[in-house]
Amino acid sequence: MNEPEEDEEEVKEEHQNKKVESIKVVLVGNSGVGKTCISQRYISNSYSSQEGSTVGASYFQKQLHINGKTVQLDIWDTAGQERYRSMGKMFYKDAYIVLLIYDITDKRSFKDLKNVWFDELKKSGEKHTVLAVVGNKSDRYSEEEVDEDDARKYADEIGAIYGLVSAKTGDCINELFENVVKKYLDPDFVTQINIERKSQGKEDSIQLSKKKNNINNKKKKKKRWC
């Protein structure tokens, strides 16, 4: 009568000893776009408007349970100042999820995303990478300088997921990380990654669900992550 209990304990021990897969996630973009605020909102569901500029890089960890699997996200929040941009290539190695962040109220941040950050990623990043073009500060739509249609079109051109988030309100932050991880775990993408890793010795744009709400009881929000 004790055998089933022993089998159950063996299964439990096997589950506990099973190695959790680590996924390296890198956030890039100009200083001030909110990379650190996005990271901290996701990690601790907190927000501070007094966050200073990241020096070098900040590192966060979080486990995510998704599609019946547990993964550990190793999140690197990189500095956006020009003097640190040459360090980016160090963080792109083995980064199979890259979030390209811009500020919807700052047209320059979107221009640099295309002409600086993505170009550097192409030179130094992995061949197969889950990309997301992310417009932060969606709570400030009345100050929008970057046309959402232009940003969405660019995301389609580079095969990236596209969406808007607000680190301040937390709107769609969880959906952002969940959807890039789902893309990473897609069987077809996993095959591409394994082929790449083997050759080294070691995409399509995703349309997400959308919603519309009112801003200031007058202006409607545009298409979002969730």
DSSP annotation string for 62-89: EEEEETTEEEEEEEEEE--SGGGGGGHH
Express each pLDDT in 54-63 by its tens digit.
445 688 999 9
Counting the structural domains of the chain, the total is 1
Q: Any idea which of 105-119, 178-192, 209-223 has the lowest mean pLDDT?
A: 209-223
Express each pLDDT in 39-79 by its tens digit.
999 999 999 876 555 445 688 999 999 988 999 999 998 86
Locus of tokens 């990271």:
39
pLDDT value at residue 67 = 84
pLDDT value at residue 7 = 53
pLDDT value at residue 71 = 95
C-alpha to C-alpha distances, 191 to 20, 39, 194, nearest whole angstrom: 19, 28, 5
Query: Is 115 domain-assigned?
Result: yes
Rounded (10°) angle between helices 173-185 and 187-200: 70
CATH code of residue 95: 3.40.50.300
Is residue 162 predicted with pLDDT exceeding 90?
yes
Is residue 156 predicted with pLDDT exceeding 70?
yes
Containing structural domain, residue 183: 23-63+78-220
Express each pLDDT in 175-189 by its tens digit.
999 999 999 998 877
**Once rounded to an integer, what is the mean pLDDT over residues 192-205?**
55
Query: Is 70 domain-assigned?
Result: no
Query: Is 7 domain-assigned?
Result: no
Query: Is 9 domain-assigned?
Result: no
Q: Any idea which of 47-51, 71-75, 114-118, 138-142 has the lowest mean pLDDT?
A: 47-51
Across the strands, what pairs with 192? none
Query: Is 12 domain-assigned?
Result: no
Contact between 152 and 161 (Cβ < 8 Å): no
Compare 170 and 1 and report the one with higher pLDDT. 170
pLDDT value at residue 190 = 67
Query: Is 185 domain-assigned?
Result: yes
**Once rounded to an integer, what is the mean pLDDT over residues 85-113?**
87
Q: Residue 185 class from Cβ within 10 Å (0-12 exposed, 13-18 middle, 19+ buried)?
A: middle
C-alpha to C-alpha distances, 199 to 131, 194, 195, 196, 202, nearest whole angstrom: 21, 9, 6, 5, 8
Query: Is 226 domain-assigned?
Result: no
Query: Is 2 domain-assigned?
Result: no
